[in-house]
Amino acid sequence: MTRPHLAGAVEDGWNRALGGALRSRGWRHLVVPHTGYARAGADGFVRVLARVVLGPDADPRLGAERDERRAYRRGWRNFLTAEAMDVEVVVEIGGATYSTRTDRSGHVDLRLPVSGLEPGWIEATLTAPGSEPSVAPILSVDPAQTFGLVSDIDDTVLQTSLPRPLLAAYNTFVVQERSRRPVPGMASLYDAVLGRRPGAPTVYVSTGAWNTAPMLSRFLARHGYPPGPLMLTDWGPTNTGWFRSGQEHKHACLESLVADFPSIRWLLVGDDGQHDPEIYADFAVKHPDRVRAIALRELSAAQQVLSHGTPTEKAESAGAHPPAGVPEVRGPNGDAIAADLLPLVSGPPD
């Protein structure tokens, strides 16, 4: 819509006033890099993801110490950020330099036509006015790759008991990062799957907030999950309303992956506590040739109560099924899912 929603106007006004006050006190731009992805080859591209905020210091010598402190702090502190909106960001990658500007939430989501990349991990350097350079890792995917893994985060790899509001608030804003618990067996499941599919990308798609991206990256690395881009969202107001739609976010991310990697068939992994069964089934109906399989972690009766207030799976999720030809595997943890899933992802390329 051309006219901003009241929610967006209020947030923009607050961010402008806060940014001006903090800059007058000497705060500077800090670039928070996120893991991006790329398609290698002659018709390749790079997707660079980052966020620019204001901070009281930008001394790179404090980086390790600051990250260590953040690992022990309460979750709510991750949301005390001052977004730097409409700030120029210079991106250097592959010997070329590009310029972009942050959006109204301080985010950078930039797609660049970069050809000739090799598969593997590459880097992009990002700089904002007055900031130290920050390096964003980029996963470059072989254009011949035919398999990829998409994973939800909440209650799929990380136990969070979402989306019930009070429990969600407690787990998100109060619990410390190192108190978070992984879902049993999921890391070893992913390791076994990717061992059968060398070079396959892993992409984490979640309705979690971008504020938690550094914490989630550390959590995944500490518990042995494969590295990969995080596709998160902004919990704040939009230009059309007070809240964003998590389901629309996941649908949009999946559609982007289909367009960006036309040769890949995806293994979609989630849980039955929220909307993953519906979202994945809808996606499989729309793109049956782009889904290798669906794997859903089944929450226990107690976990279902914590998730949405009843001891059984939601009716709309229970009735969501992929089309014939797209297998679906369910189990309470990674070990149980592995027994039926691994034979489906083994064998010759798709």
What pLDDT digit, counting tens, does each position of 304-330 carry?
555 555 655 554 555 677 888 899 999
User: What integer best gives the mean pLDDT of the chain?
Assistant: 81
> pTM of the full predicted structure?
0.83
Give the per-residue pLDDT at 211.
81
Q: Taking phi first (over 0 means left), then psi (-120 to 50 degrees means alpha), and beta for anything else, what does residue 199 get?
A: left
- Reference 188, options 10, 342, 19; nearest CA is 342
Distance, CA of 272 to CA of 260 (rounded, Å)? 27
Angle of the 186-196 helix axis to the 334-345 helix axis, nearest 10: 10
> Is the confidence at residue 153, as pLDDT, over 70?
yes
What pLDDT digit, counting tens, does each position of 131-148 carry?
999 999 999 999 999 999
Burial of 238 (0-12, 13-18, 19+ CB in 10 A): middle
- Reference 317, options 293, 281, 347; nearest CA is 281
Q: Taking phi first (over 0 means left), then psi (-120 to 50 degrees means alpha), and beta for anything else, what does residue 95 get?
A: left
DSSP H helix total and E strand total for the chain? 10, 14
Confidence class of residue 150 from pLDDT cuts 50, 70 and 90?
A: very high
> What is the rounded average pLDDT of the residues 101-107?
90
> Is the confidence at residue 208, as pLDDT, over 60?
yes
Give the per-residue pLDDT at 212.
81
**Segments in the chain forming alpha helices (H):** 6-24, 63-72, 165-169, 186-196, 213-222, 246-260, 276-286, 301-308, 315-318, 334-345
Q: Tokens 């972690």: give the residue.
A: 297
What pLDDT digit, counting tens, does each position of 60-99 carry?
444 444 544 544 444 444 445 678 889 999 999 988 999 9
> What is the rounded average pLDDT of the residues 97-105?
93
Distances in Å between the alpha carbon of 293 and those of 130, 272, 284, 328? 47, 15, 9, 6
Give the per-residue pLDDT at 181.
86
In this structure, are residues 260 and 118 in contact, taking their beta carbons and an 8 Å threshold? no
In this structure, are residues 191 and 208 in contact, taking their beta carbons and an 8 Å threshold? no
> What is the rounded average pLDDT of the residues 331-339?
96
In this structure, are residues 40 and 141 in contact, taking their beta carbons and an 8 Å threshold? yes
Burial of 3 (0-12, 13-18, 19+ CB in 10 A): exposed
> What is the rounded average pLDDT of the residues 19-48?
86
Least confident window among 14-18, 106-110, 275-279:
14-18
> Is the confidence at residue 234, as pLDDT, over 80?
no
Give the per-residue pLDDT at 123.
97
Give residues with Cβ within 8 angstroms of 312, minimum separation 6: 301, 304, 318
Q: Strand pairing of 147-151 and 134-141?
A: unpaired
Least confident window among 153-167, 219-233, 249-263:
153-167
Q: Which domains does the chain have, with CATH numbers?
A: 6-141 (2.60.40.10), 147-345 (3.40.50.1000)
